[in-house]
Structure 1
Amino acid sequence: MKTITRHLGTWALCATAMTAFATGADAKTVLRFAHMNSPTHVVQLAGERLKAAVEERTKGEVEIALFPSGQLGSNSQVAEQISLGGEIIGHMGTPNLADYNPDYQVTTYPFMFQDFDELMEFMKTPLVRDMEKVVEEKNLKVMCYFAFGVRDLYTRETEVHSPEDMQGLKIREQPLPLYIELAKQAFTAVPTPLPWPEVYNALAVGVVDAAEAPPSAMLDQKHNEHVKYYMTTNHIHDVSTFTTSAAAMNALSDENRAIVTEETRKACDWITDQVKASYESDVAKVEASGVKIVRDIDRAAFAAGAAGIYKAFPDWTPGLYDRAREEVEKIRAR
């Protein structure tokens, strides 16, 4: 169980993010839509679509207030606010949900999936449904999943073709266990956990030598201004969620709950379509900005390094990695 006393700042954020249902289920409800991306990012655009649809269909009974750029805190802070009852729809990756169910980390296992179609089918399996049940017991209701991007590697000074080229380089990683192991085992690099908004300056001054992210996210944060090489490693097909408070959803009227659920799922599907269609054009934008694109990558060598990452997670349900591989093989056999 997470120790609440270690997160007093989160209590304060949660207090600002809650609206009481003081006059019944059909009173005006404000749901905060929180994410860490810029106001021009596809997640924000999806939030704008969600806001318009929900407010029109509920006749103003449910309002969506948009909070981009980490205004309500980091993904982990938003997840904790939601678990404490905050009336928020939060964008968070499945590794953030792993704070509440470690098994979620397998959904972004490096080199597990060949493409987004395969990944999104995996997210419909009973294995993932079981993960959802565990986090819902902690008041986190996963409303939908969406493709967030194919994660690639980029560097300030070093052209990379194989893990040997990465040895000793400091790579920014999310402060999440799976990504730390990715840096150490697959990239043979030195993991340097940093909040996403700090990466631009870290690349600028050399606090880190490398980072990894989808090209859209890299461009969104203007990291291309401080790197010379972009490697199409495609090491993770990144899946994200819109997650909310189970209690907050249950407090809505049946009709409004159905509307919010339906429109949120539409927003997820819309993002997935945008992300799947934009990868190559986003890489072309990176190249047009003056960054060299490196496609001659020894992916097999990187994948071999990632193969044993699961051994670093004894808190996963026994046999989880093998079950996940079996589900992927079933999908490929269809």
Structure 2
Amino acid sequence: MLIHKMYTIAWKGIRTRILWVCTLLLLQSCALETNTKVLYFAHSLPVTHPVHRAIMDMKESLAKKSGGQLQIKVFPDGQLGTEREVLELLQIGSISMTKVSAASLSNFAPDYQVTSIPYLFRDREHLFKVLEGEIGKELLMSSTEYLLRGLCFYDAGARSFYAKNHQIKSPEDLEGMKIRTMNDQMSVDMVNTLGGSATPMAYGELYTALQQNVVDGAENNIPSFVTSNHYEVCKYYSFDEHTMVPDVVVIGTRFWETLSDIEKEWLQEAADESVAKQKQYWKETVAENMKVLEKANVQFLYPDKSEFSKNAAPIMEKMMKDEKMKAVIEKIRSE
């Protein structure tokens, strides 16, 4: 009976997404008749998130630049599926754009794995010097052979551990803990290498998993910790800041190739302009979120990062066995 119920719920979700996609394809055909191109932009974040606010700025900017010829329609809150599902929709041309974590994108385009290496980036300034330079441009283009083109990087802060009943002050504190990770091999390897037990699962399932002790904790940035309401369950947040995995704005190459040169220019400019605003929104949101967490009696911990960095070193060593990846890592370190 339970299996039947779960199957029914899963099928309803799949059926809903199929109906959405069919509707989008119909709307796209109608738009073509009016010489207006509509870019369907799907992402998994709530409308209060700083990333969504930047996407709305991009939408407004593109409409102005194109005189209304290019319009972005946004579908937030995972309406069209998970990050992986939406990337697959981009590949077949059912929708145009998305925002995903570089970790999720690395499952499609391996070069993005470099952004998930623990403690590779020294700080936020170093991160964006890399992402907005030659290395970043090469990364954005590295996914084109997989029918996905990166337009720009967004700030996603630093990811740190948080837990229900454990203070994580050192790698030893992770031993025996079940930590939720993204469905990304680098994330799994990181938690396991540091001594925890990596438990990949969908982000939408995490709140219940924490409540029911399926996992003991997770890792993410402050805005995600707050917007997900995980702070209601987890009262310990440890600023070990193991990774600075950026978000990536992506367009499917099938749609990109339908744009004229001037339309591509308008879109790229609108995306680039939204980056500065998103960084500011992120900074403001973190400050506001910290106040929320303080009122909720979340205990902040500031461990010695060098201990975590030392224990995570085997991951970087493993990655550097690949000559191509080694060259990129050394270039990033030299920035």
TM-score (norm: length of structure 1): 0.87
- CA displacement 1:160-211 (0-9 Å, x = unmatched): 111111111111111111111111012x111111111111111122111101
The question of 1:234 aligning with 2:238 is answered no
Contact 1:13 1:73 survives alignment (8 Å):
no
Aligned to 2:38: 30
Return 75-84 or 266-275, whichever deviates more: 266-275
Contact 2:179 2:216 survives alignment (8 Å):
yes
Residue 11 of structure 1: how far off its partner (Å): 7.7
Aligned to 2:310: 304
- Indicate how the Cα distance of structure 1 residues 8 and 205 shifts in structure 2: closer, same or farther if over 3 A, else same: closer
Contact 2:207 2:228 survives alignment (8 Å):
yes
Task: Please point out which of 55, 58, 63 is paired with 2:66.
Answer: 58
Contact 1:108 1:236 survives alignment (8 Å):
yes
Give the distance between the partners of 1:162 and 1:48, measured in 2 at CA: 40
SS of the residue 1:308 aligns to: helix
Aligned to 1:288: 295
Aligned to 1:170: 178
Return 42-51 or 209-218, whichever deviates more: 42-51
**Aligned pair count?**
321
Aligned to 1:75: 83
- CA displacement 1:187-236 (0-9 Å, x = unmatched): x1111111111111111221111011110111011111001211011111
Give the distance between the partners of 1:96 and 1:12, measured in 2 at CA: 25
Residue 74 of structure 1: how far off its partner (Å): 0.7
- CA displacement 1:71-105 (0-9 Å, x = unmatched): 11111111111112233220011122212221211
Aligned to 1:318: 322
Give the distance between the partners of 1:37 and 1:20, measured in 2 at CA: 24
| Counterpart mapping for 1:165-244 below 5 A | 165-186=173-194, 188-244=195-251
Residue 275 of structure 1: how far off its partner (Å): 2.3
Task: Please point out which of 227, 248, 258 is paired with 1:251.
Answer: 258
Residue 243 of structure 1: how far off its partner (Å): 0.2
- Indicate how the Cα distance of structure 1 residues 312 and 10 shifts in structure 2: closer, same or farther if over 3 A, else same: farther
Contact 1:113 1:237 survives alignment (8 Å):
yes
TM-score (norm: length of structure 2): 0.87
Give the distance between the partners of 1:324 and 1:273, measured in 2 at CA: 28
Return 22-31 or 220-229, whichever deviates more: 22-31
- Indicate how the Cα distance of structure 1 residues 140 and 12 shifts in structure 2: closer, same or farther if over 3 A, else same: farther
Give the distance between the partners of 1:48 and 1:166, measured in 2 at CA: 39
SS of the residue 2:246 aligns to: strand
User: Hey, which of these two has a bigger chunk of helix by percent?
Assistant: 2
Give the distance between the partners of 1:131 and 1:56, measured in 2 at CA: 29
Give the distance between the partners of 1:127 and 1:51, measured in 2 at CA: 27
Give the distance between the partners of 2:29 and 2:96, measured in 1 at CA: 14
Give the distance between the partners of 1:230 and 1:220, measured in 2 at CA: 15
Aligned to 1:267: 274
Q: Which amino acid aligns with 1:173?
A: T
Give the distance between the partners of 1:52 and 1:107, measured in 2 at CA: 30
- Indicate how the Cα distance of structure 1 residues 26 and 95 shifts in structure 2: closer, same or farther if over 3 A, else same: farther
- Indicate how the Cα distance of structure 1 residues 220 and 92 shifts in structure 2: closer, same or farther if over 3 A, else same: same
The question of 1:329 aligning with 2:314 is answered no
Contact 1:10 1:77 survives alignment (8 Å):
no
Q: Which amino acid aligns with 1:169?
A: M
Residue 131 of structure 1: how far off its partner (Å): 3.7
Contact 1:37 1:69 survives alignment (8 Å):
yes
Q: Which amino acid aligns with 1:288?
A: K
| Counterpart mapping for 1:7-18 below 5 A | 15-18=22-25
Contact 2:140 2:152 survives alignment (8 Å):
no
Contact 1:168 1:190 survives alignment (8 Å):
yes
Aligned to 2:119: 111
Give the distance between the partners of 2:67 and 2:179, measured in 1 at CA: 48
Residue 252 of structure 1: how far off its partner (Å): 2.1
CA-based RMSD: 2.7
Q: Which amino acid aligns with 2:304?
A: D
- CA displacement 1:300-331 (0-9 Å, x = unmatched): 22112211124666xx8822443233223321
SS of the residue 1:192 aligns to: strand
Contact 2:178 2:197 survives alignment (8 Å):
yes
- Indicate how the Cα distance of structure 1 residues 258 and 109 shifts in structure 2: closer, same or farther if over 3 A, else same: same
For structure 1, the residue ranges without an aligned partner over 5 or more in a row are 1-6
Contact 1:25 1:253 survives alignment (8 Å):
no
Give the distance between the partners of 1:276 and 1:23, measured in 2 at CA: 37
